[in-house]
A = this chain, B = another copy of it.
Amino acid sequence: MGRNRDIRTDLALEAREILREEAMKSKEGWQGDPKGVVVENAGDEQIKISRVRVVSSEGEQAIGKPMGNYITIEVPGLREEDQDLFEDTCRVLADELSSLINLGEKSTVFIVGLGNWNVTPDALGPKVVSSVMVTRHLVQYVPEQIDQSVRPVCAVAPGVLGITGIETGEVVKGIVEKVRPDLIIAIDALASRKMNRVSTTIQIADTGISPGSGVGNRRMELSRETMGVPVIAIGVPTVVDAATMANDTIDLVLDSMIKQAPQGSDFYKMLADIDPEEKYQLIREVLEPYIGNLIVTPKEIDDIIDRISKVIANGLNIALHRGITPRDVNRYMH
């Protein structure tokens, strides 16, 4: 069973989890993934890989995400200072990214770092752009100085331009029409539903960026349809939507109360069984007048963004220029 819904998560993996939770509360229970949604797991405890493929419009409807591939890399230990885990995660990211792209030797890649540098949780895109290896101008002007395995890569962080009166989509499309890249990779900060996903999860999707997604509620659509070129979106949840957080907390509190006070257990159960979406919408309504859009982030969000932007930049460098060593990165870093 499925219907299109505003599940308020940018992560396909979460969308699938929500379906599962709801199904488990129903009489039928969980019957497996809906038709049109194929899930494959890989990796290990440290780095868990889930590959979700939406293969039909039925699947699209069920999970609320366009047809395509959604690879989620979960690294719970990424918060600690573990240099080996860091390097392994970069490599896994590079491998999974490579599985989705199909580049010729001199294909041009255009990296777009979405986000507003001035709102810390939304600064992921600009940070990745400032760390990634940019080579297009070198390949153009001094090709003899460039290693064979280096591709032309260029990047832009349109949000860094500030409020300029120009839509980000207009800027990106305008540049795409001039540069004519073979592939666009868009980096964005996402909102998730589970608080423990923030900064330990990376999603790679070949469906690009949908309107309304991301921390910044991007207005534009950045996809093959709108850009004329394949678009890979790499996203990391950096915030949890406040209504989501309240909702989840209420559930946790009710669960706790049910255990502690059996006399009200029938009633608690009734509360807990209210349709999750109805409950969520009720919470959004009551929060609305108090202070519009709230975002919830960990206090150490600036360090988190620093670290994860390096993971993504390194992963990109490895994936786009196979055979390049860290030493070469220093040579090419702008």
Which residues of A119-169 are within 8 A (CB) of B?
A: 119-120, 129-130, 134-138, 152-158, 160-167
Q: CB within 8 Å of B: which of A73-122?
A: 81, 83, 86, 116, 118-120
Contact flags (1/0) for A274-310 with B, using CB distance below 8 Å?
Answer: 0000000011001100111111111111100000000
Task: Report if A173 contacts B (CB, 8 A).
Answer: yes
Bound form: Cα–Cα A195–B246 in Å: 13
A334 at interface by CB-CB < 8 Å: yes
Give how many A residues have a beta carbon under 8 Å from the other chain's beta carbons.
Answer: 76
Q: Which residue of B lies closest to A246 (CB)?
A: B249
Given A245-B246, A246-B245, A297-B295, is A166 in contact with B175 using a C-beta cutoff of 8 Å? Answer: yes
Instruction: Report whether A283 and B118 are in contact in the complex, using a CB–CB cutoff of 8 Å.
Output: no
A242 lies within 8 A of chain B by Cβ: yes
Complex CA–CA separation, A283 to B246 (angstroms): 10
22 CB < 8 A contacts A-B: A83-B330, A86-B330, A119-B120, A137-B165, A138-B165, A152-B165, A153-B165, A154-B165, A162-B334, A170-B179, A173-B178, A174-B174, A174-B177, A195-B287, A195-B291, A196-B290, A246-B249, A249-B249, A249-B250, A253-B283, A264-B270, A292-B299
Cross-chain contact A157 with B165 (CB below 8 angstroms): no
Interface of A is mostly: helix
Cα(A137)–Cα(B245), bound, Å: 32
Residue of A156, A161, A295, A301 contacting most chain B CB atoms (<10 Å) = A161
A residues whose Cβ falls under 8 Å from a Cβ of B: 81, 83, 86, 116, 118-120, 129-130, 134-138, 152-158, 160-167, 170-171, 173-179, 194-196, 198, 215, 240, 242, 245-246, 249-250, 252-253, 256, 264, 267, 270, 282-283, 286-287, 290-302, 327, 330-331, 334
